[in-house]
Structure 1
Amino acid sequence: MTGYKNCIMSKFSGPEKDEICLDLIKEDPLSIRIQGKPYTVVLRTPGDEIAHVAGFCLGEGIIDSSDDFENLGYCGEDVNVVTVTLKPERLNRIPDILKRRGFISQTSCGICGKELVDDLKQNITPILEGPKVDAKMATHCLNTLSDHQTHRQSCHAAAIFTGDGKLLSVGEDVGRHNALDKSIGKLVQDGKLDMGSVLVLTSRISYELVQKAARAKIPVIFAVSGPTALAVELAESLGMALVCQTRNKDLFVFCGEHRLAMV
């Protein structure tokens, strides 16, 4: 990830002024084109653009798997434009989704850029029951997430693990939604989408993050901060577990306790 830019700043200590140079995390626009037409612009930290768009497409319901892509790549050498070409059979199944174009996704926003909350529920079904996830193992994944980050001081991170704690992918970005898109997109690219069982986040669990995890069929989310009420409502309806760790290392399980082995 090439996400830093030098910035000269003034530092004041009382009346005394010094000039210092700091590396600030970059935030650039990424244009996503579908079938040759502009679909959306997202503001993101440069890096992992192809994975980012793959994860974005899954979360939006544009694809269900990598098999739905005819082609996915940069527009020439411009890393700020990614073009998506879908197979004809997929295009015929999602005409309404492709009409929703032209919005800008800010790194700090959740569902604020959408017209309706119900619009986010497209193509999401409850996650089937599976083996319980060891809560102690998932907590360890959360507490060691920084070990897998390159820019832990500047970016949010989203990491996906198997049910037995094996790391599958990590995404980093100034935007928490972008970080998750990148992490999920890597699984889409690698054909490992069905292996993800635990998602760990450096951010609060928002409604849209639950939506993206649900589209990827990830049943358990652990985060450093609690969820919104709307996120719990959605997760509960889909049979997902939402967990956060308090400062004194207690676990708050907001829903989906049946998914966890509390040892």
Structure 2
Amino acid sequence: MSWTPVRTARGTSIQPDGAREISRSLPEEAPVAMVYDGSTQAVMMATPQDIEDFATGFTLTEGFANLAEIGEIEVAMHDEGIEARMWLPEARRAALAERRRYMAGPVGCGLCGIDSLSEATRALPEVPEGARFAAGDLARSTDDLRGHQPLQDRTRAVHAAGFLRPGEGIVLAREDVGRHNALDKLIGALARAGIDPAGGAIVLTSRVSTEMVQKTVMAGCPVLVAVSAPTAHALRLAEGAGLTLAAFARGGGVDLYAHPHRVRTGESHVA
């Protein structure tokens, strides 16, 4: 089977002024298996594009390996889904055993099927000091990201994650039906392009849940910006990891929560 990110569907739209036949573009979902050394580690429903970025980002944010250890990624298409095949050093197999998951099921459910509850609140490293931003850059970031969402333009049904550089706007973005998947794809794309996440901020079209903070911190990015709210536990994790957390970035404004010292308003840093 040839997996494509968009499918066309026909239907009938019932409106107050009557009914009409319609044709709409719908985002595709495919089971994507992360396969390490011949064994499946995780299966997730995802948009079938940027699979190498997805596999790279997932491997990095789960702490399975570093970029140099990932090597070549083989993407195998099947009628049932897609495999991303990777081969890791022997020393990394213990990490795979500790973090084994089975995540086939709801789209973007980042903690579905996790074996150990302690893994859901795993200790995080401290993020580097990294980039600093004018408050206006963060306030405009989700509007900027909107211009980098061709799949959303076609389907109105996907999330995006973008990388914001100070004074440059969004320089890289990835889309997926799952918000966690979009973030993994972005982190993988940054790694494969040799772009240091410490030099910018990650911008999300979603709320900020626990795993979105975990992935951002594991990527080494010091600032996370979202269009919607953080959860209370996500905020606690951000505080502990030194991550600047900005939310409700829309309509020309932004709310600052954890570690706002990286954000400038006027002539001074936010206290």
What interval of TM-score do these two structures reach, taking the shorter chain for normalisation? 0.7 to 0.9
Task: Quote the RMSD (CA, aligned, Å).
Answer: 2.6
1:206 offset after TM fit, Å?
1.0
Q: Within 1, Cα distance between the matches of 2:123 and 2:75?
A: 27
Structure 2 counterpart of 1:151, one-letter code:
L
Identity of aligned residues (%): 30
Task: Summarize deviations over 1:86-133 as a string: whole Å, max 9, x none.
Answer: 123444x625435x1433263242434434553034462011324532
1:85 offset after TM fit, Å?
0.6
Moved more, 178-187 or 144-153: 144-153
Give yes or no for the alignment of 1:156 onto 2:180.
Answer: no
Among 218, 230, 234, the residue aligned to 1:231 = 234
CA contact (8 A) 1:162 1:196 kept: yes
Counterparts of residues 60-209 of structure 1 (less than 5 Å): 60-63=62-65, 65-75=66-76, 80-91=82-93, 94=95, 96-97=97-98, 100-104=100-104, 106-122=106-122, 124-152=124-152, 153-165=156-168, 167-209=170-212
Q: Within 1, Cα distance between the matches of 2:148 and 2:222?
A: 22
Structure 1 counterpart of 2:21, one-letter code:
E
Q: How many residues align?
A: 260
CA contact (8 A) 1:193 1:216 kept: no
Distance change >3 Å, CA 76–CA 148, structure 1 → 2: closer
Task: Summarize deviations over 1:39-60 as a string: whole Å, max 9, x none.
Answer: 1111011100010111111111
Unaligned runs of 5+ in 1: none
1:241 offset after TM fit, Å?
1.1
CA contact (8 A) 1:52 1:182 kept: yes
1:80 offset after TM fit, Å?
1.2
Among 33, 38, 41, the residue aligned to 1:39 = 41
CA contact (8 A) 2:132 2:263 kept: yes
Quote the residue 2:243 is aligned against: 240
Task: Summarize deviations over 1:63-98 as a string: whole Å, max 9, x none.
Answer: 2x310114322137887111011123444x625435
Task: Summarize deviations over 1:153-177 as a string: whole Å, max 9, x none.
Answer: 3311100123443544211011111
SS in 2 for 1:148: coil
1:256 offset after TM fit, Å?
1.1
